Amino acid sequence: MTDHILKALLFSVFLANAALAAHGPARNQPQAVPIATTVPFTVAENIIVVEAEINGVFGNYLVDTGAQAVTLNRPHFESSDIKTAVLGHAMPSGANGIVHDVQGATDLKLTWGEIQIDGLHGLVMDLSHLETSIGVPIAGVIGYNVLERFQIHFDYAAGELTLYSLDENSLPLLKSDLGNPSQITKFDMLGHIPVFPVEIAGYEMRMGLDSGAGGAMLFTKWREKLEGKYEFIERTQLNGADKNVQMGDVVRIDNMRVQNIDYPDMTFRFNDIAGHGGNTMPMDGLLGYEFLKSRPTSINFRRRELTVW
């Protein structure tokens, strides 16, 4: 186990709605959205990286359901014609604290495979430190305000994401060719984060799901409760969009269960999300890379369904 497994949470689960609302209503009108489109991805430090273009800037973009909105890496857009605005009082936060020097952006145009979406709102900030941490150039982040329009299917074995367009009942217009799923789990939404029940070491917990989390997290309130039920691996650091670093213990737990499916030998990091605290948030931790990689998995935000094959 190396420390890159636990690089997690590019953005907090509570990137404030008020910050985006400061720009006025978004048009968010799709210009070209196929019934289904499959795009290849690579993985850098356990984070999904795809090629896309926003406002003429083609490059690597991270796919992060934990980021509420499209986010642009400022150095890559210095020569691009983007409309920016000062945010309101509600500033976005990263894993370890408030992110400073952030602007809003309007009228963004995303081209991603066969998908084209105009009129997006987003954020602009300096993500150079994350480029250094992950080891690849990052033009920006594709976040929830794009992904929630689709049923998004993660297939790490094939290195592909498939985005299924939805009908008026939020069902995919094209049925998956994987056949009947093993399980469908209903989830609640905490802001823009899916939260669903799991069982760990006999305890019932509620875990959030974030594709931008390179490693799973348990909030520190569980450290003593789970004493004797985990194997200590190492102590390592957590990097976030806020440029701060938080240390935490990485542990291995024999099994996590979601309804009728077991996820054995899961690794977790004991940490809290700065500014919110694991003791007060209505969930007990976060799942990301290791969970999504274990099985072909789809998220349908609008139907609040997690489908696993």
| pLDDT tens-digit series, residues 37-54 | 999 999 999 999 999 999
59-80 pLDDT tens trace: 999 999 999 999 999 999 998 8
Q: Rounded distance, CA 84 to CA 129, Å?
A: 22
SS3 assignment for the chain: CCHHHHCCCCCCCCCCHHHHHCCCCCCCCEEECCCEEEEECEEECCEEEEEEEECCEEEEEEECCCCCCEEEEHHHHCCCCCEEEECCCCCCECCCCECCCCEEEEEEEEEECCEEEEEEEEEEECCHHHHHHHCCCCCEEECHHHHCCEEEEEECCCCEEEEEEECCCCCECCCCCCCCCCEEEECEEECCEEEEEEEECCEEEEEEECCCCCCEEECCCHHHHCCCCEEEEEEEEEECCCCCEEEEEEEEEEEEEECCEEEEEEEEEECCCCCCCCCCCCCCEEECHHHHHHCCEEEECCCCEEEEC
User: Per residue in 201-223, pLDDT tens?
Assistant: 999 999 999 999 999 999 999 99
| Residue 63, beta-bridge partner list | 142
Summarised one tens digit per residue, pLDDT across range 81-112 is 898 887 764 545 444 445 557 999 999 999 99
Measuring CA to CA, which residue among 182, 191, 187, 217 is closest to residue 289? 217
CATH numbers and ranges of domains, the chain: 3-165 (2.40.70.10), 183-308 (2.40.70.10)
Q: Over 70: is that where the pLDDT of 5 sits?
A: no
Q: Please, what is the average pLDDT of the chain?
A: 86
Over 80: is that where the pLDDT of 261 sits? yes
Q: What is the structure's pLDDT at 282?
A: 86
**Cβ neighbours of residue 40 under 8 Å, at least 6 residues apart?**
50, 159, 160
Question: Is residue 1's pLDDT more than 90?
Answer: no
**Interior angle at CA 214, CA 56 and CA 227, nearest 5:** 160
Q: How sure is the predictor about 142, in pLDDT bands with cuts at 50, 70 and 90?
A: very high
Q: pLDDT band for 274, please (50, 70, 90 cuts).
A: low
**What are 102's strand-pairing partners?**
none
| pTM for the whole structure | 0.87
How confident is the model over 29-41, as pLDDT tens digits?
557 899 999 999 9
